[in-house]
Structure 1
């Protein structure tokens, strides 16, 4: 399957260019996305605007991929989910676990907000000395 890759300053947008997404294709997408965890730009947005059909196991694989990213303190957002694909995620019982936005622009916003949140949380490690 052809996949379009667009790297920005804070994230990479991965866009599969067709349907259906089978379990094997989802595994390939997952492996490719995991490789970004080794890059300077680690956050990934998966744009599913061209995907109208996917297998239930593929939906589970993509949901697991998102969890892998968040365990590494890195953003993974799915955007532009078509109704047919959304139904499969729902049927697989993973839709509520996903970070999904209607548009790619909103996904960009989520990644940037999560980046700011991580920076602020990292700043909580500062300790203050109390003078008596």
Structure 2
């Protein structure tokens, strides 16, 4: 599995460096991502800029993984989707289920905003 990890103050950027995101690769990727939920920096930005195609099962796995992050009070944002991948996800009605942004910078902004929202909600309780 070819990925590059970059840890920022509030989130970890995972860059997938393969052209196809297969179901097997998505499963391999899920394990270390789920481990991040146990750490201090739990938010993830998944950069798929290098990915040209995604298997349906892999895309469904990403949707489930994103759901798990949000249920755990952490952010999971996908960014830099190639048009072919975006079209595929849209055709499978999966894109609307994903928190996706055009750029990594925008993904980081979403993580920051969601962190603020969670802090405000915690203060209200």
- Smaller-chain TM-score range? over 0.9
Kindly indicate which of the two structures has a greater share of residues assigned to strand. 2
Name 1:45's counterpart in structure 2: 45
Deviation digits for residues 8-39 of structure 1, max 9, x if unmatched?
A: 11000000111111100011111121110011
List, as ranges, runs of 4+ consecutive aligned residues in structure 1 with deviation greater than 6 Å: none
Counterpart-to-counterpart distance in 1, 2:86 and 2:29: 18
Residue 25 (str. 1) matches residue 25 (str. 2): yes
Mapping 1:66-85, distance limit 5 Å: 66-85=66-85
Tell me how far apart the structure 1 counterparts of residues 46 and 82 of structure 2 sit (CA, whole Å). Answer: 13
CA distance in 1, matches of 2:100, 2:54: 16
Instruction: Using structure 2 for the length normalisation, give the TM-score.
Output: 0.97
C-alpha contact 1:59 1:88 (8 A) present in aligned 2:
no
Q: 1:50: Cα distance to partner?
A: 0.5
Q: Please, which runs of 5 or more residues in structure 1 have no aligned partner?
A: 126-132
TM-superposed CA distance for 1:88, in Å, is 2.1
C-alpha distance in 2, partners of 1:8/1:58?
26
> Who wins on radius of gyration, i.e. which is larger?
1
How far apart are the structure 2 equivalents of 1:122 and 1:94? 30
Instruction: Provide the aligned length of Structure 1 versus Structure 2.
Output: 125
Q: TM-score of the superposition, structure 1-length normalised?
A: 0.92
Runs of 5+ consecutive residues of structure 2 not aligned to the other structure: none
CA RMSD of superposed structures (Å) = 0.8
Match in the other structure for 1:129: none
